[in-house]
Structure 1
Amino acid sequence: MPRYARSEREALADLMQTLGPDAPTVNEGWTTRDLAAHLVLRERRPDAAGGILLPPLRARAERVRLRIAARPWPHLLDQVRRPPAWSPVSNPLTDELANTLEFFIHHEDVRRVGPGWLPRDLPAGLHAALWRRCSGLARLALRRFPAGVLVQAPGYGELSVGRGGEPLRLVGAPGELALFLSGRQRVARVQIDGAAALADRLRGTDLGM
């Protein structure tokens, strides 16, 4: 059985090792060091990781992340590359479910920051795995968007989300949709069909979790 979470993790760690700790990422204001610290926090500090998603806990999570970011770069990369087996999100039972989308997105955060990048030719199995996770992401990210949005990944599936009303159609490969729906619209190669003003609004809406 393919282990896409593991392969994306290793590819990201290799790329960050090549680029060093000060390379920019798609996440505005974050370097590769910041991104690595985020991943270590998420996997190794469950006492603080809730702040990634919960605003009341965010300040503490950020303080912990900054302390993690101060660690020597080789040590930080090693912790990204070798997650603890006890972690709620990276143990053998949860790794594929919790980390395939996470590490794909963050791998692309580093790949797509500069000029000249191209989408990767992903295996069909990874496309399918990303689409399975995309459906939940779409329902969460677009639940309040003031339109009926038909999200389509040709060959993998489609779903309708949003609050209804004027229709839009969002089309792309599963990985491109994942990037778009996680707030990375400017680097996602998707097609949006519908009223131009509404499409522009979708491209500019804060969809980040």
Structure 2
Amino acid sequence: MPRYARAERAALADLMLDLGPDAPTLDEGWTTRDLAAHLVVRERRPDAAGGILLPPLRGYGERVRLRTAGRPWPELVGQVRRPPVWSPLSNPLTDELANTMEFFIHHEDVRRARPGWQPRDVPAGLAVRLWRSAALLARTTARRFPADLLVQAPGHGELTVGRGGDRVRLVGSPGELALFLSGRQRVARVQLDGPPTVAERLRTARLGL
């Protein structure tokens, strides 16, 4: 069975080593070192990883991330590349589900922060998994958008979310939709149709978990 999460992880680790710890990413204010530390904490420090989603734990989680970021760069990237098998997020039973979109998006966070980037072709199986993740993102992050949002991935499926009213249509490949719906609207290569003011509101909305 293809291991898309493992492949995206390996490609990201290779790119990080190639670019070094101070390369920019799409995550505002973060370098590749910051991103690598985030990924290590997410998988290896469940006591601190809760701060990613839970505001009361955010301060503690950030302190742990900053300490983690101070490790030697090869060691830090090595921990990104080789996750612990005991982690709830990276063990053989959960890795594909928990990490395929996570590492695809963060791989693109590094790729698309560089000049001259171009979208890449992804394997058909990876596109299927990214569409499932994009559809889930649409249902969770755009469900309160003040319009009918029709999300379409040609060849994969479509769904409608939002509170109704004006209609906006968002069309793209599964990977581009995953990037858009995770808050990377400015770099996602998608087609957005609808009333200009509503479409612009979607382009600038705070999306993502």
Report the TM-score when normalising by structure 1: 0.99
CA distance in 1 between partners of 2:47 and 2:168 (Å):
40
CA distance in 2 between partners of 1:78 and 1:84 (Å):
11
Give the match for residue 163 of structure 2: 163
Amino acid at match of 2:118: L
CA contact (8 A) 2:13 2:80 kept: yes
CA distance in 2 between partners of 1:42 and 1:181 (Å):
21
RMSD: 0.7
The equivalences for 1:76-87 within 5 A come to: 76-87=76-87
CA distance in 1 between partners of 2:201 and 2:161 (Å):
16
- 4+ runs deviating over 6 angstroms: none
Give the match for residue 151 of structure 1: 151
Give the match for residue 62 of structure 1: 62
Give the match for residue 52 of structure 1: 52
CA contact (8 A) 2:171 2:192 kept: yes
Following superposition, the deviation at residue 208 of structure 1 comes to 3.1
Give the match for residue 190 of structure 1: 190
Give the match for residue 123 of structure 2: 123
Amino acid at match of 1:94: T
The count of corresponding residues between Structure 1 and Structure 2 is: 209
2:167 paired with 1:174 = no
2:31 paired with 1:36 = no
Give the match for residue 3 of structure 2: 3
CA contact (8 A) 2:137 2:208 kept: no
Q: Structure 2, unaligned stretches of length 5 or more?
A: none
Amino acid at match of 2:148: G
Report the TM-score when normalising by structure 2: 0.99
Q: Structure 1, unaligned stretches of length 5 or more?
A: none
Q: Secondary structure at the match of 1:158?
A: strand
